[in-house]
Structure 1
Amino acid sequence: METDLKKNQCLTSHEDLIVYQKAFDVAMKIFELSKKFPIEERYSLTDQIRRSSRSVCANLAEAWRKRRYKAAFIAKLSDSEAEAAETQVWLKFAVNCHYVNIEQARELYSIYNQILSGLVKMINHPEQWLL
C-alpha cells in the first residue's frame, strides 16, 4: 500500500497519509459495528476495540509530529502497528462471541493488514519521512 497521496503531491499533515485515512475510516466502521455489541461488553470488548482502533490514528498523528527524531518517529509508528494488531485480535473475539459476522470481520481484518503493511514500510524506510 502506498502511504502517500500521489508522488507529485506534497504531504502537509498526517491526515494526508493514505494509511491514516484507512485507519480512520476503519475505526469509524468498528465504532458503528460495536454499537450493536451487548451491554455487558461495554467496559470490556467494546471499549477495547474502540480504543485500539482509534489509537492507530492517534499514534500516526504523534509519529508525524516526531519526524525530527528518527527513533521517536519509529517508536510511535511501532505503537501504531501494535494497536492495529491488537484491533485484529479484538475482531477475532467479536466473531467468536457472535457479535460480528465473519464476512464483516474478514473485510476489516484485511484493511488492517493493509494498514500494517503501510506502517511497516514507513518503519523500514523512515528517511523519506524525516524532516
Structure 2
Amino acid sequence: MEWWRRFGPPSGNEPELTAPLGRYVIVTFVKGTDMGPYEAARHIPGVSGHELSYVANKHFSIVLLNEAVADLVNAQARLDLSQAWGDGTAVAADGTPSGSASATAASSPTTTPSSRKRRCGSTPCSPTR
C-alpha cells in the first residue's frame, strides 16, 4: 500500500525531498492532529518547521489528502478482519461524543478565549502552547 504516493509537487515530477515517505507520514500526522508544522518540529527530532510547512504547502492538497484516505480505507476494507465485521453498509457507535475541541468550546455559551481548554474525551488534555 503506497498511499503516500498521492502526494508530491504539483508539477507531477518526483519529489526532491530526502526520504519523502517519512516527510509525508509526518506531515499527514501533523495535518491530522491540527498541530502545526512548527509545533511538530519542536517535538519531532530531525525535521524543521520550515521543512514541514514547505511540504504541507507545496506537496499536499485537500483533494490529494482525501484520495490517500480513500486508498487506506479501501485497503483496510479488503482485510479479512474487516470483512468479519460486516459488509460496510452499517456502522455502530457507543454514543461517545466526538468532535473537535474548538467546536466543543465554541458551542459553550460561557466559553471565553481565556477559559477555553482542550478536552480529550471526558477529561481535559494538557494545554497547547
Do they superpose with TM above 0.5? no
As a proportion of its length, which structure holds more helix?
A: 1
Higher relative contact order (CA 8 A, sep 6+): 1
Of structures 1 and 2, the larger Rg is shown by 2
| TM-score of Structure 1 vs Structure 2, range by shorter chain | under 0.3
